[in-house]
Amino acid sequence: MATVLESGDGTPYHKDFTLSITKALGDQLAAALAGLDRAPLHEESIKELKERAGVYQLYLDGEFVYVGKADKSLPARLRNHLRKLSGRRRIALGEMTFSCLYVAEDFSALAPEQLLISHHKEMGNIPWNNNGFGNKDPGRQRDSTILKRNHFDVLFPIDLGRPVEGLEVGEFTLHDLLERVKAGLPYNFRYGKSAEFKKRVIQVSADRMTADEVFRLISAEMPDGWQIAALMGYVIMYDDSPAHYKSAWRYYRGGQVVDAEPEAESVSDEPVDEADSEAADPE
């Protein structure tokens, strides 16, 4: 019969030791960020940053709402967020602040933002992580999705009253105008293709036109059967009129506007089934 050797006072002289290196790293990152001041999320603050990889945290009215990473450029990542937030309702840019840490590029292999997420999840929820804020275009298959009530796009829907940047007075083909509108909005505008777009000509008679005004103009010149649908987080244009989208709150058909009541699901304990494509954003 085998025996376990013990010291004179009965205490075992060997046992397993487990060290959670990842938890220790997460705790250290969180502590380092907590020791920093917070800067307003605007260009004046961002331009002072170094073009380096890093992690950052966003705050809304002083409340911690999001943690993210930049594999190459913290300024580029934060400018992406600044632009996105500028096109949302129910939120003012003056309410947003941030803090950040530079990290070595090879440190990104350890997924530092996931270490921070794990750390903060133990303390409570992070409202915007896994609730749509970091996502880019979810793709056509997601257009009919019913969003949770705590989804970022439901809480802060797109602003159709925002002017389209870079749009000037002039005559454009529908194809060219669609490209300009897509480039000039701080939220995604996805549309189908048609040979007719290069044949139809539209006159833009005023600058500083809002997205709503431009979509009214475009919809009057669309081929039959096309519609524009403003969803909670982005805008789509396809030849499927009068298709209904569950998260749409406005349609543009034949120059006419049709307002709708978007659907939203109650919040459960399950995370939002959406991949956060933040890492694929351009930097």
The domains of the chain, with CATH numbers, are 21-130 (3.40.1440.10), 140-265 (3.55.50)
162 within 8 A of 210, measured Cβ to Cβ: yes
231 within 8 A of 143, measured Cβ to Cβ: yes
pLDDT of residue 106: 66
Confidence (pTM): 0.84
In which order are the strands placed within the sheet that holds 54-60? 39-40, 96-102, 54-60, 63-70
Q: How confident is the model at residue 277 (pLDDT cuts 50, 70, 90)?
A: very low
pLDDT at 274 over 50: no
- What is the mean pLDDT of the segment spanning 211-230? 97
Closest CA to 204 of 176, 243, 237: 176
- What is the mean pLDDT of the segment spanning 32-37? 92
pLDDT at 110 over 60: yes
- What is the mean pLDDT of the segment spanning 93-116? 83
Q: For residue 5, give every residue at least 6 positions away whose Cβ sits within 8 Å of its Cβ, in sequence order, or none.
A: 13
Q: How confident is the model at residue 19 (pLDDT cuts 50, 70, 90)?
A: low
Give the per-residue SS3 of 103-147.
CCHHHHHHCHHHHHHHHHHHHCCCCCCCCCCCCCCCCHHHCCCCE
Question: What is the average pLDDT score of the chain?
Answer: 88
> What is the dihedral angle through the alpha carbons of 79, 81, 86, 89, rounded to the nearest 10 degrees?
180
pLDDT digits (tens, 9 = 90+) for 134-163: 888 889 999 999 999 999 999 999 999 999
Q: Higher pLDDT residue, 31 or 105?
A: 31
Question: Which DSSP symbol is given to 267?
Answer: P
pLDDT of residue 10: 67
Q: How confident is the model at residue 266 (pLDDT cuts 50, 70, 90)?
A: confident
pLDDT of residue 228: 98
pLDDT of residue 9: 67
Q: Higher pLDDT residue, 54 or 119?
A: 54
pLDDT at 65 over 60: yes
pLDDT at 129 over 50: yes
> What is the dihedral angle through the alpha carbons of 224, 225, 231, 235, rounded to the nearest 10 degrees?
-50
pLDDT of residue 12: 77
